[in-house]
Structure 1
Amino acid sequence: MPLPNCLTLEPEQRIIKQLFEAIMFEQLVEIDACSENGHNTFTWIMAEKHYHVRGHIGDFGRYRLDISTLTIDGQPQLISQSWEDIVRDLPALEQVKLSIIEEFKQTSNFCRWNQDHIPARVSRRQASFIELETQLDEGHPYHPSFKARTGFNFLDHQCYGPEAGESFCLHWIAIKRTHFRSHLPDEHDRFWSSELDQEHWQTLSFILSQQQGNWQEYALLPVHPWQWRQLHKEDFPSLLDQKVIIDLGELGDQYVASQSVRTLLNVSNTAKANIKLPLNMVNTSSKRTLAGYSVCLAPEISTWLENIVSQDPELSGLDILAEYAGGIYVPFGKTVECDPLSDQLAVIFRESLENKLSPEQTGVPFNALMMVEQDGKPFIDHWIDKYGLVPWLSQLIEVAVIPIWHLLVKYGVGTEPHGQNMVLVHRHGWPEKIIIRDFHESVEYHSEFLSTEFPAPDLELLEPTLAKAPLDIFYAMSSVELLRELVMDTLFIYNLAEVSHLIECHYGGTESQFWQLVENKLEQYSATHPALADRIAQLDYQSTSIATESLLARKFQAKKQECHHIVANALSCAFK
């Protein structure tokens, strides 16, 4: 299914469209903008070639291009044939260009596999939440490597990607407790006998005993079946020979991959936990293992957030899918950052959405709201027909923006609410609440801006890696501005900006009108919270320009640290 203005694009066209939109947005090329015959056009030079394309600049400086108008040195382009040459022209390191070419090939190949093997769906509007997690196949709306999954082949894509919806069971291993660290809500055996049905728990216990093991010496860990095969290609077998790890085989409930691929949803019992497992696979330029330091901190962070949300009536429209348990391989006498296997053998348990909904409520992944169905109408079209554009958008903003903003303003807690990390809960299409998820790496705070009512947990005590780290590496930030950037980046610039773009494309309004609705809600919040005026002023969210993360610049320069650039702020008073 397509994003707006992508319905007729071939995979290579969409890849290059998003590539150009990103490098222009991140100011990686110098743009000459002008108007020709009523059309906005952009020209720039790469590798001494003149690139020329039509398009416009949306709010927050997001470029929206008509890639069919692309010319290079005045020549129209058949992008399916010329895209590799385009990549070679990029202002990037040579080894990075080679990596990008492979990512783009894989993205294109998997998109075409989906077209050839997955039946077209006229509409996903009646799909369940789990069905939507598998059917939302568009991938990242900004990053051009939106379906690279480097490390997967076509069979892996079919079996373990979300799009085909194929289910599979987990692989199980027992790890010597001297080589394992966990944060569980109960004692090991009681926890697992509760998480698994009795038959599966007893079967795993029997298999362990047959190999002269017991749960006093060993701890249980699920492994993604694809990951299990990858680990066998490395030095992993020696751990089996030494009986540090005992192979228990594949069994148990059936799971399907979510949009994120590494988070798995239980389809045998949908009320059971979502399981997040590391994969030695690269998608949108990031390796999809689990950051070792975060695994056993996840329950502490979730408990902290739950305490805040549950005790503030103003957050009654916000809920979280708590990450309530974690476990990780850590060799005896080492820390999580000292052994590469730690990031590759771990698990995080997350609450199921099913347990958060009342009988008439339905949850949809938030990024569904920016999509267009095969009938040419937005996913949200029936809801807008029913309730009216402005009333529905006003309610959406009230539900999706204000609780996240309140959490930041009053408590000093920044979350990462991008499209995949949010769930919209609605009743017959009317937005009622928002649920956020995925906190173990993406909650931030600035100590001087934190509420004294709910101080952050002592994460350094639980994970020594954090104690010697500088600010801005893990959870603790050096400034309020970085908190604002996290929230405005993920919620506004890379999330709601896609919704505002869809509204402009399909409903005749303008993006500026959408952001005026957002600004009105934020001003109403300020007016009704005079006691928080100083804290709101510190966030300075109406400044004329703001810093935003540069996702591609970091890749082009092969940098580990984040890169940033400055964009015009759609919420600034200067634009009213």
Structure 2
Amino acid sequence: MRITIEPLHIDEHLTTVHAWVTHPRSAYWMMLGCTPEETRAAYDEIAAHPHHDAWLGRVDGEPAFLCETYDPLRSDLAGIAHLPELAPGDLGMHVLVAPPAAEPVPGLTTAAFRAVMRHCFADPAVRRVVVEPDARNLPIRRKNTDAGFVELREVGLGEKTAMLSVCTREAFAASHLRPENLERASRHLVAKAIGEFSHERLLSPARGASATTYSLEGPTSRWTFEARRFALEHWAVQPASITRTVGGAEAPVDAQAFVAEFARDLGIPAQLLPTYLEELAATLASACWKLEHQTLSAADLVAADHQTVEGAMSEGHPAFVANNGRIGFDVEDHARWAPETSNDLRLLWVAVRKDQSHIAVGRGAHEASLYDDELGAETLTRFADVLRSQQLDPADYRYLPVHPWQWRHKLAVTFAPDVARRSLVLVGEGNDAYRPQQSIRTYFNSSRPERHYVKTALSIQNMGFMRGLSPAYMRATPAINDWVADLVEADVELKERGFGVLRELAAAGWTGDVFHTLPEPSAHRKMVAALWRESLVPRLGANEQAATMAALLHRDAAGTSYAAELVRASGLEPRTWVRTYLDAYLRPLVHCLLAYDLVFMPHGENLIMVLRDGAPVRMLMKDIGEEMAVMGTLELPPEVERVRCDVPDDVKALAIHTDVFDGFLRHLGALLDLDGVLPEAAFWAEVRGCIVDHAADHPELAEAVERYDLLRPEFRHSCLNRLQLRNTLQMVDLADQAESLIFAGTLPNPVANPVASPD
């Protein structure tokens, strides 16, 4: 369900509101006997009150609930303004969900209530929400306490005895941490852990009495579950089927307990196990938040815009188990800035000395025009005035965007001497609102969608890395992006497929700190940098939508998959839909490998699907500067030479086999089979057909086709979780990623000859 809240205009909605407030189920609203004229007068009075507002809530566009907000210290409610418990920063709230016309919609009241709470806390000046429900109204009191309210005491308010209750911003931010949410989140994460650790051959479940029943024996627990197995040793474990027994008695399904019990088998170093368990806890907390707050169905997302889909994702990386760590964020940080909250933020800007910093721009971009276009003359004047007020010359400085968290937790502390000596100057907040993307340190401009994405350093620990940005490493980023964009634009095959790149066309970094004078690199060198990437919005046609490719693996709260809904919405036969998708995604990647020895990191978050009538018709690649490589002797400009890597021949084809087949397609193929959309064997037949057809269309690449042999019977099994489990702080050496790989034998290639699933 899609929930929106807007000011109530009683003239437009009098009939509806009157029917709601006079319904017998609305007795506690205390307006049962009101006539339409009296109802209008009551809400006219609220509209005229400077400290009282009425709001209409819609669900999927239809009126569904009513709420009121008011300043309790200036309230006309009998006696409430004089209660000693009230304080500045309090906001009073009432909510009334429309009495159901038929069967009640499960979860509607909770979803509406939490939407109202988010609406209240959207004002940063609000520190607490105050409610005073009738003390007899036990259901709404339970809703209140579930949302983080603390009941203070009963108070007499005119015609009712009320239960005065307050909810702080912090309490609401943590209110998703409830037993029922943890139960679901833990089962999901244990199911994923069993599946992915078994896929990587770290665990070996024993088959039970039936073909789909398995068990794992740990030092203290026995875990049993039901699962189906698919190609590439993919395990689809049913979360609801998991049972844990300790000493013959059933015990809670606990994700942290599971990892702690099997830590030796998983190869987690003892000194790093607490860090991994912390990332698991944060991943569970994120999952609990999504279970509590996200209400959109997979069908809703089919018609949604890119940012709505982006904020609705319930899963992080499909292979990594601890994939939403974000160590460094507190509960309020998460509620404000995590992608799944779909909240906008305003970036802070710092001025850095030009002689201690650099900016690199791509073709067609210039430093001055970049700032003019992204900030505008008024904001630039405001920033310059801040510098002048400190007797600093704006001509000596350039500007960098920083995340508010990064300023408070890192820049103002770690670089305090530099702030004091005015090498680093906070000049203020930008005017534009930005929306965090699934790649959490990248932001979409919500105010001006045609403006660039911004990516900043964000020094939180997430999925095996500190999420910094290296000023030195990014110097070549615009040049690399220009070179890749030119190559893609000039290639007939890629152009026909509509394959494109979103260029990172400017990168800036500050290096004036003491950490850049030390001989050894560190995370401290990656804390003050930013880049600008082209917006996808100008690249979309009138009848096109966009969604991050990771969305294809999304399931809503009811378990329905976004991919299945797209197939249904397209009207295409499932095999045709899959081939359309593969021709947009897989075929360009195969072509880049065979024609240029050029590889990307094509996981779900790095590709934007362009959809037309529910079908992915073309792809836009991003994160080019950090995640692409040339593995051959292709001539490169000097400024791009950094991307060349020396990779063993048996590893080169893994750019398709591991990164595409194992990294994404095994998940999608299993999902479509489980949902009854397309049998797995038919899915992999289409993958094979896509590769074979490309080879037939390009006889000039026959030597490369033979050399890479993408249809070989098996390929090396490169394992992602093993990397994170080995070193939870830095999975790989970014300067030599191939040498960091960990292998676990080989995997049968599902496109060598399409085969039935193992079960």
Q: Structure 2 length as normaliser, TM-score?
A: 0.68
Answering whether residue 604 of structure 2 is matched by residue 419 of structure 1, we say yes
Answering whether residue 248 of structure 2 is matched by residue 69 of structure 1, we say no
1:22 to 196, 203, 208: 196
1:70–1:77 CA contact under 8 A, matched in 2: yes
| Corresponding residue for residue 329 of structure 1 | 510
2:441 to 262, 283, 294: 262
1:331–1:339 CA contact under 8 A, matched in 2: no
2:673–2:680 CA contact under 8 A, matched in 1: yes
Give how far 1:476 is off. Answer: 1.2
Give how far 1:208 is off. Answer: 1.8
| Corresponding residue for residue 137 of structure 2 | none
| Corresponding residue for residue 314 of structure 1 | 493
| Corresponding residue for residue 93 of structure 2 | none
Answering whether residue 638 of structure 2 is matched by residue 458 of structure 1, we say yes
- Mapped to 2, the partners of 1:36 and 1:190 lie a distance apart of 69
Give how far 1:440 is off. Answer: 1.8
Answering whether residue 278 of structure 2 is matched by residue 105 of structure 1, we say no
Distance 1:390-1:142 versus aligned 2 partners, 3 A rule: same
> Per-residue CA shift, 1:308-365, capped at 9, x if unaligned?
1111121122011111110111238859974643311110111111011111121111
- Mapped to 1, the partners of 2:215 and 2:288 lie a distance apart of 30
- Mapped to 2, the partners of 1:47 and 1:374 lie a distance apart of 34
Distance 1:81-1:554 versus aligned 2 partners, 3 A rule: closer
Within-5 A mapping of 1:182-197 = 182-185=359-362, 186-197=365-376
Query: Rg bigger for which structure?
Result: 2
| Corresponding residue for residue 542 of structure 1 | 711
Give how far 1:82 is off. Answer: 7.0
| Corresponding residue for residue 499 of structure 1 | 668
Within-5 A mapping of 1:123-162 = 123-162=300-339
The count of residues paired between Structure 1 and Structure 2 equals 553
| Corresponding residue for residue 398 of structure 1 | 583
Give how far 1:104 is off. Answer: 1.5
Give how far 1:421 is off. Answer: 0.9
SS in 2 for 1:264: strand
- Mapped to 2, the partners of 1:344 and 1:337 lie a distance apart of 16
SS in 1 for 2:350: strand
Distance 1:440-1:460 versus aligned 2 partners, 3 A rule: closer
Answering whether residue 691 of structure 2 is matched by residue 522 of structure 1, we say yes
Within-5 A mapping of 1:124-523 = 124-185=301-362, 186-232=365-411, 234-316=413-495, 317-331=498-512, 334=517, 338=521, 340-374=523-557, 376-385=559-568, 386-448=571-633, 450=634, 455-459=635-639, 475-507=644-676, 509-523=678-692
Distance 1:19-1:75 versus aligned 2 partners, 3 A rule: farther
Q: Which amino acid in 1 is paired with 2:535?
A: S
Give how far 1:131 is off. Answer: 1.6
> Per-residue CA shift, 1:184-207, capped at 9, x if unaligned?
244433331122222112211221
Give how far 1:108 is off. Answer: 1.5
Distance 1:479-1:212 versus aligned 2 partners, 3 A rule: farther
> Per-residue CA shift, 1:486-543, capped at 9, x if unaligned?
3332222121222111110112532222011110111111122121111111112222
Give how far 1:80 is off. Answer: 4.3
- Mapped to 2, the partners of 1:292 and 1:548 lie a distance apart of 34
| Corresponding residue for residue 84 of structure 1 | 257
2:552–2:563 CA contact under 8 A, matched in 1: yes
- Mapped to 2, the partners of 1:171 and 1:95 lie a distance apart of 37
The structure showing larger relative contact order (alpha-carbon pairs under 8 Å, at least 6 residues apart) is 1
- Mapped to 1, the partners of 2:519 and 2:448 lie a distance apart of 32
SS in 1 for 2:303: coil
2:311–2:438 CA contact under 8 A, matched in 1: yes
- Mapped to 1, the partners of 2:277 and 2:427 lie a distance apart of 39
| Corresponding residue for residue 470 of structure 1 | none
Distance 1:399-1:117 versus aligned 2 partners, 3 A rule: closer
SS in 1 for 2:242: strand
Distance 1:11-1:267 versus aligned 2 partners, 3 A rule: same
| Corresponding residue for residue 13 of structure 1 | 187
1:25–1:62 CA contact under 8 A, matched in 2: yes
- Mapped to 1, the partners of 2:509 and 2:520 lie a distance apart of 12
1:323–1:351 CA contact under 8 A, matched in 2: yes
- Mapped to 1, the partners of 2:626 and 2:564 lie a distance apart of 34
| Corresponding residue for residue 749 of structure 2 | 569
Q: Which amino acid in 1 is paired with 2:275?
A: S
1:57–1:63 CA contact under 8 A, matched in 2: yes
Unmatched runs of 5 consecutive residues or more in structure 1 = 2-6, 467-473
Give how far 1:290 is off. Answer: 1.8
Distance 1:503-1:79 versus aligned 2 partners, 3 A rule: same
| Corresponding residue for residue 230 of structure 2 | 58
> Per-residue CA shift, 1:106-126, capped at 9, x if unaligned?
221222233334445573222
Q: Structure 1 length as normaliser, TM-score?
A: 0.89
SS in 2 for 1:64: strand
| Corresponding residue for residue 720 of structure 2 | 551
- Mapped to 2, the partners of 1:56 and 1:118 lie a distance apart of 28
- Mapped to 2, the partners of 1:488 and 1:214 lie a distance apart of 55
- Mapped to 2, the partners of 1:273 and 1:388 lie a distance apart of 37
2:220–2:261 CA contact under 8 A, matched in 1: no
2:256–2:280 CA contact under 8 A, matched in 1: no
> Per-residue CA shift, 1:242-274, capped at 9, x if unaligned?
221112122321101011111011000001000
2:423–2:512 CA contact under 8 A, matched in 1: no
Give how far 1:74 is off. Answer: 8.1
1:291–1:441 CA contact under 8 A, matched in 2: no
> Per-residue CA shift, 1:8-57, capped at 9, x if unaligned?
9711111111122222111123x2543623x2344444447654433232
2:685–2:754 CA contact under 8 A, matched in 1: no
Q: Which amino acid in 2 is paired with 1:95?
A: Q
- Mapped to 1, the partners of 2:183 and 2:751 lie a distance apart of 32
Distance 1:293-1:457 versus aligned 2 partners, 3 A rule: farther
Q: Which amino acid in 2 is paired with 1:406?
A: H
SS in 2 for 1:95: coil
Q: Which amino acid in 2 is paired with 1:511?
A: E
Q: Which amino acid in 2 is paired with 1:13?
A: R
- Mapped to 2, the partners of 1:114 and 1:44 lie a distance apart of 29
Distance 1:406-1:75 versus aligned 2 partners, 3 A rule: farther
Q: Which amino acid in 1 is paired with 2:747?
A: V
Distance 1:94-1:428 versus aligned 2 partners, 3 A rule: same
Distance 1:327-1:499 versus aligned 2 partners, 3 A rule: same
1:301–1:457 CA contact under 8 A, matched in 2: no
